[in-house]
Structure 1
Amino acid sequence: MASTNNKDDGCGFCCCWMVSAILLGGFFVLLTSLPSMDSLADPFEQPTTCSVELVGFKGLQPAMASEATSPAFDLLIHVNNGHTFSLAHGGGDVVVSYSGVPLARGRTPSFEMATKDTTALPVKATSAAVGLPEDLSRLMTDERRWAVAQLRIEFGLAWDSFTCNVELDGQQRVSECYRPTLVN
């Protein structure tokens, strides 16, 4: 005789939830692994990149030295417009610092760049101060001896800010810049 007991043990409900969770998790993984809509819009679009070349400098003696002069830096800022639109810039501030101490200031010239174009901007950064504070001069001398001395160059370009760490070893070289991250 067949049983007339239609007792549900709850297995169907449990299996339904498990299948739903697996499908939802798979959908989430799929969505997070897809490229952003911005990158799908134009695969040739690249961000603006910059680098700085320290062409020359003077005035890095201690302030009390008889030969002390004002710190001055000749820079060449290389700009690569990776965008698929033109880029215009009305000039902006440039700050050269060492170990967090501003040494000189300058300005980038105004310019306009076509799509995917590159340019080099000469910048003279100078200071009204004469020489370096004694402690900073000692630190710079030691770090130059250890080949770890770096200037920090900060500047704005169009709507972006850039920072470059440039070796202060007397060699002329190009240093790549980065966009500083904002900390909340």
Structure 2
Amino acid sequence: MILGLLYLALFVVPTFLPPADSLANPNNLPTTCSVELTGFRGLQAASAPGATSPAFDLVVRVDNGHDFPVSHGGGDVVVSYAGVPLARGRTPSFDVHAKEAVALPVNATSEGVGVPEDLLRLLMEERRWGVAQLEIELKVAWESFACDVDLDGQARSSACYKPTTIY
């Protein structure tokens, strides 16, 4: 009986408690971000005459939930479709005060690489069905984020999440 109570007190109960730093600083929230797709071009077959490289105009919003300012020298952004990278970009460097937010313009391009025809067919079909989504991976404030952004021509913000890594 004593061993059971000891097990509960040392292993089971602590797993349901919030982290100690959140108890000490309840207003100290993590950094979060969202991405808005404001425009895109070059979504045509690589072999099409006059084909241009895919490019995406994004606005990355970083919300600093911490009680201290966050500075960052910029981070990588990768825009993919169906797991295939289409374009790369970089967030500009930024400083954001405690409990404030900043919006960062990002232009992701693919320097001369078009979209493979099979992938483009899938993309166009999913756009017709209204289910096409881009995956956007970014590193901001020393953290990795991922966002799923609808490719329906409407500018709307999509909340990012921290990707889980399966080993």
Report the equivalent of 1:169.
152
Distance 1:117 1:134 in 2: 43
Q: Does the CA-based 8 Å contact 1:61-1:67 persist in structure 2?
A: no
Flag the 1:98–1:33 CA change in 2: closer, same or farther, 3 A.
closer
Flag the 1:35–1:94 CA change in 2: closer, same or farther, 3 A.
closer
Q: Which has the larger radius of gyration?
A: 1
Report the equivalent of 1:83.
66
1:83 corresponds to which letter in structure 2? Answer: H
Say how many residue pairs are matched.
166
Deviation at 1:127, TM superposition (A): 1.2
* SS of residue paired to 1:69: coil
Distance 2:13 2:118 in 1: 56
Q: Which runs of 4+ in 1 moved over 4 A?
A: none
Distance 2:8 2:80 in 1: 50
Superposed, 1:90-109 pairs within 5 Å as: 90-109=73-92
CA RMSD of aligned residues (A): 1.6
Worse-matched range after superposition: 114-123 or 66-75: 66-75
Identity score, percent: 63
Deviation at 1:27, TM superposition (A): 2.7
**Structure 2: stretches of 5+ with no match in the other structure:** none
Q: Does the CA-based 8 Å contact 1:59-1:130 persist in structure 2?
A: no
Deviation at 1:25, TM superposition (A): 4.9
Distance 1:140 1:146 in 2: 10
1:138-180 residue CA offsets vs partner (Å, 9 max, x unmatched): 0101111111111111111121011111000111100010111
Quick check: 1:24 aligned with 2:32?
Answer: no
1:89-113 residue CA offsets vs partner (Å, 9 max, x unmatched): 1011111111111111111000111
Distance 1:25 1:45 in 2: 31
Report the equivalent of 2:130.
147
Flag the 1:122–1:24 CA change in 2: closer, same or farther, 3 A.
same
Q: Does the CA-based 8 Å contact 1:85-1:115 persist in structure 2?
A: yes
Deviation at 1:62, TM superposition (A): 1.0
* SS of residue paired to 1:171: coil
Question: What is the TM-score when the length of structure 1 is the normalising length?
Answer: 0.84
